[in-house]
Amino acid sequence: MIVVTTTDQLDESLSSFRSEGCSIGFVPTMGALHQGHISLVKQCVADNEVSVVSIFVNPTQFNDKNDLIHYPRTLDADLTLLEPTGVTVVFAPGVEDVYPEEDTRRFDFGMLDKVMEGKHRPGHFNGVAQVVSRLFDLVKPYRAYFGEKDFQQVAIIRSMVQQLNLPVEIVAMPIVREADGLALSSRNARLAPSQRKLAVKISEALTKSRNFVGRSSVQDTVNWVVDQINANEGLQVEYFEIVDGNSLQSISEWQNADYAVGCITVFCGEIRLIDNITYFAKQ
């Protein structure tokens, strides 16, 4: 495993592989790695001749400066986790390496970024598109791997790749959960033990809500999930929407979609947790 911190070092480490036509797989991360990230890395290593993982806390996607300040940075622990995976190169740049000049690009995602995370975090997805497209330009991967916990983000990245006509295959991987169902997240490290016990109520409510499909209305399902979670002191739903999994627009009737996904964001104290559940995806 080679660890590089500059774009020149990255080019040097990948140049011979590129000249040989090796397939390059890429997993972009913001560090604070957990087994969800590692599942992406292992798939990347299995699918490609060369694998690259980036560790970079991207400032342009944080609309809350306090969130940026408190985002966990654990490079040494991250490298320890990555060592046994077989990854070829770890790219851990500074801000000046990724953005030698201010990135002023503005992307148009239509309605994809007007809902859910995009509505509650203005500018977030533009920052995501900036950094991912920049990293794609630096790494030049054949394939890139993302977790479906960030369901809306995957749709945004697919749109960005299409808009820029980038030759990158986007591979979305299933959510990895703790044994009790809590979706793995770097933010979980900030949860106090009492909050950790509370946080599992999110996935519990989502899982139980699958029983509502075809039996209760979409709105009744939404109301039930929100009420179940908010009934726990210390949890507060920011939004829960049941959407068409392709357009990300809310549905009012189950039969209005062939692919229905429930997307949720919950504050556990001051810590913002996201999750989602697929209700059905008709072939």
Task: Indicate which residues carry an active-site annotation.
Answer: 37
Q: Which residues contact 226 (CB under 8 A, 6 or more apart)?
A: 237, 240
Distance of alpha carbon 19 from alpha carbon 65, whole angstroms: 41
Say if residues 184 and 217 touch (Cβ distance below 8 Å): no
Q: Which residues contact 200 (CB under 8 A, 6 or more apart)?
A: 178, 180, 181, 182
Pick the closest to residue 103 from 121, 136, 129, 64 (CA basis).
129
Pick the closest to residue 9 from 93, 79, 129 (CA basis).
93
SS3 176: coil
